[in-house]
């Protein structure tokens, strides 16, 4: 299922004074202290910050894996914080794709079967699952590798399979958590070039957590978090993003 086009004047994603506190009383930890920012469709946003800065909490809330303590999270104008668990799961399944540092592939399952998993959860028929997974693998440069297991693939190829799995449902947003963290320099740049191509050619909005400045340069915008607050939010020149 594809989401409708958002109205031109409505951000795809908007945080309004979002706060998140874990625990209570003396042991309470305020991970986010009232942050506000918006993301337009088609942006490539890098999220950076030291450990404990709040960047992972932001990604968990964006991905509907956690809820804010206070404030508003709007997705295409819909208040996500008001949705129940099932509605948040539907939003996550329909409009969001996830890529992780550790790939999270099923070890004894082929590349094609790994990519088909989100479609299997949706109840898509086998013929549609096979067609869509082959198409997604082709988009990430893995045509001909459909029947290889993760053990038969390099780290870069495994991450490509993970990206194919994330985009097979045609999500509006791709959430990438340290997607190059387990890769060498060459493979890291290859994965970043792939994410840039998906962002520009497929109009997938990309939000990436990274601690590597070299990887952040591929984005069109960088947001730095420090102590649960937005320390800086700056667009990048196209030349810098492509260098």
Where does the pLDDT of residue 237 fall: very low under 50, low under 70, confident under 90, or very high at 90 and above? confident
pTM of the model: 0.90
- The answer to whether the beta carbons of residues 75 and 91 sit under 8 Å apart is yes
Return the closest-CA partner of residue 71 out of 37, 115, 120, 24: 37
Residues 170-214: pLDDT tens digits?
999 999 999 998 999 999 999 999 999 999 999 999 999 999 999
The length of the chain in residues reads 243
Residue indicated by tokens 């649960």: 228
Which two structure tokens, joined as six digits, stand for 205? 């909005």
Mean pLDDT of 80-109: 93
The CA distance from 186 to 192, in Å, is: 10
Domains and CATH numbers, the chain: 13-242 (3.40.50.300)
Mean pLDDT of 126-133: 96
């Amino acid at each position: 299922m594809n989401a409708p086009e958002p109205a031109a004047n409505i951000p795809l994603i908007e945080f309004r004074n979002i706060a998140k506190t874990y625990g209570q009383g003396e042991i309470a930890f305020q991970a986010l202290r009232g942050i506000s920012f918006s993301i337009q469709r088609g942006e490539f946003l890098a999220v950076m910050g030291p450990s404990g800065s709040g960047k992972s909490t932001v990604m968990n809330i964006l991905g509907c894996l956690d809820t804010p303590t206070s404030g508003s999270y709007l997705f295409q104008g819909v208040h996500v914080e008001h949705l129940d668990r099932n509605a948040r799961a539907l939003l996550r399944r329909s409009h969001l794709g996830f890529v992780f540092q550790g790939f999270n592939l099923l070890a004894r399952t082929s590349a094609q079967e790994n990519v088909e998993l989100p479609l299997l959860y949706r109840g898509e028929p086998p013929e549609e699952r096979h067609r869509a997974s082959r198409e997604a693998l082709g988009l990430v440069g893995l045509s001909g590798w459909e029947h290889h297991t993760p053990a038969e693939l390099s780290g870069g190829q495994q991450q490509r399979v993970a990206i194919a799995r994330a985009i097979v449902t045609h999500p509006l947003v791709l959430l990438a958590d340290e997607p190059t963290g387990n890769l060498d320099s060459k493979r890291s740049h290859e994965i970043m070039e792939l994410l840039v191509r998906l962002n520009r050619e497929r109009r997938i909005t990309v939000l990436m957590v990274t601690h590597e400045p070299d990887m952040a340069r591929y984005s069109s915008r960088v947001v730095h978090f420090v102590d649960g607050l937005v320390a800086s939010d700056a667009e990048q020149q196209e030349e810098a993003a492509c260098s």
